[in-house]
Each structure stands twice: as structure tokens, then as C-alpha cells.
Amino acid sequence: MIAELFDRNLRWAAGRARVDPEYFRRLASQQGPDYLWVGCSDSRVPANEIVGLDPGELFVHRNVANLAPPQDANFLSVLQFALEILKVRHIIVCGHYGCGGVRAVLSGQRHGLIDHWLQPVACLCRRDAAELDGILDFDARVNLVCERNVLAQVESLADNPFVRDAWGRGQALSIHGWIYSIQDGLLRDLETSIETVADATGRSSAAPKVMRGRPRRGRAE
Ligand SMILES: [Zn+2]
């Protein structure tokens, strides 16, 4: 089972080199991605593949429920490196409908350590409890929280000192909130992009009134 993965790796590397003989030499020389992707660990949401980018084009951080926690050393190390060394121009927070992390929170059951990790999602659910209680369908409730969670992470990022410092230095940097549907393979733009300190200032942390996710087919700048 494990040996099979090495066999697959050999075939993959040989296939890449056949199509583009300079491929690995080029990648080895540097990485210069324009994007930092903050996504869920869910195996059905492979960051590079979804947006059709090669290795080296997307700097990726994934965790359960695509959080951008301001006290997580792992995430903050990735963020600082992305902003100060790689100088990415876009941060994309990408959630996905049906997220298991969100389902775990809404189930109301105990799951162990993950309950601590998912506390920011639980806080969101408490904030929007009145509205969520009015949605009878469990999956619809989950999906709404998936969207709200992306918006919350975008707003948290806009307050992050590393992000604020980047804007202060005059760095071009936009933060985007997207959501992906495993059902159809399409990304939805939650239209919550923040590009400047002015965009970030005065935004309401109150819950938006409607679900806004819809497929987007245009170029994402
Ligand atoms: Zn997930």
C-alpha cells in the first residue's frame, strides 16, 4: 500500500519531466508564489488542483475548518513568511460546503482536542444562534456557518499585525473569502475582499444577512 505511493511518485515525476524537461530545475531554483491559500485539511479540497496552479505557484496552509487563528504559531509562521519573504499579493481563505469541522461543532457532541481548535467556529454559532435555530435543515445550517466562518477568518486576517504591517509598508495585498463545493468542483467568491486598511476599518463583525456564495467564472485578481 505504501510502496504503491513511491511507484506513483516515480511515474508522476517521469511524466512531468517528459512534458517539460526544465520543470524540476525551474522549481528547484526558487519559489515565487503570488498567493497564500488558507484552506481546510479535507482531502477532497486539494488547493493547487482546484485553481489549476502548479507547485511553486501557491503557498499553502491547511488546517481543520480553514482557520486563521491569531495565536497559532504554525499559521503565524506561514503568514509572516508569505508576507515578508515571499511577498504574496493575495491571501485566499477558502472554505468548503459540508465541512466536517463545522459539522462537528453543530452536532453539539464532544470530539476531544478538536473541540478546542474549533472554538472560534463555536463562537460564531453562538453569535448567530437565533438565525441558525430557524434553519431546520442541518446541511443548510452547516453550509451557512461554512460561509460565515470564511468571512470571520478574512476579517481576522485584516486585523492581523503582520497584515497591517504589510499594508503599512505599502505592500500590495488583498484578502479574499471563497468557498468551494465538493458537489460541483466550483469556487464561489463570497465578495468580501479587503485590499487596504481603509477597507478593513469600520467593517461590521455582525452576521451578514444572506448566503452569498455563487460560482464565479471570471478571472480572480
Ligand atoms: Zn473542512
Q: pLDDT tens digits, residue range 29-85?
A: 877 899 999 999 999 999 999 999 988 899 999 999 999 999 999 999 999 999 999
* d(C-alpha 77, C-alpha 58), whole Å: 16
Active-site residue flag, 99? yes
Q: How far is the CA of 35 from the centre of ligand 1 (A)?
A: 20
Residue 69 Rama label (left phi>0; alpha psi -120 to 50; beta): beta
Grid coordinates standing for 206? 455582525
Residues 6 or more apart in contact with residue 175 via CB below 8 angstroms: 90, 91, 93, 154, 157, 158, 163, 193, 194, 195
Q: How far is the CA of 25 from the centre of ligand 1 (A)?
A: 34
**Cα–Cα separations (whole angstroms), residue 40 to 96, 127, 140, 194:** 8, 22, 19, 21
Query: What is the pLDDT, as a whole number, of residue 99?
Result: 98
Q: Where are the domains of the chain?
A: 32-197
Indicate whether 221 pLDDT > 50: no
**Cα–Cα separations (whole angstroms), residue 27 to 37, 55, 80, 139:** 19, 8, 22, 41
Query: What is the pLDDT, as a whole number, of residue 32?
Result: 87
Query: What is the pLDDT, as a whole number, of residue 212?
Result: 53
Query: What is the pLDDT, as a whole number, of residue 197?
Result: 83
Q: What is the pTM of this model?
A: 0.89
Tell me the pLDDT band of 209, cut-offs 50, 70 and 90: very low
Q: How far is the CA of 71 from the centre of ligand 1 (A)?
A: 20
* Burial degree of 175 (CB within 10 A; 0-12, 13-18, 19+): buried
Indicate whether 3 pLDDT > 80: yes
**Mean pLDDT of the residues in the chain:** 91
Q: How far is the CA of 43 from the centre of ligand 1 (A)?
A: 9
**Residue among 37, 179, 8, 217 at smallest CA distance from 95:** 179
**Cα–Cα separations (whole angstroms), residue 17 to 31, 131, 184:** 18, 53, 31
* 114-170 tens-digit pLDDT: 999 999 999 999 999 999 999 999 999 999 999 999 999 999 999 999 999 999 999
* Torsions phi, psi for 154 (to 5 deg): -60, -45
Active-site residue flag, 116? no
Tell me the pLDDT band of 219, cut-offs 50, 70 and 90: very low
The whole-number average pLDDT for the span 80-109 is 97
Q: Which CATH number fits domain 32-197: 3.30.465.10, 1.10.240.10, 3.40.1050.10, 3.60.10.10?
A: 3.40.1050.10
**Catalytic residue, candidates 61, 96, 148, 188:** 96
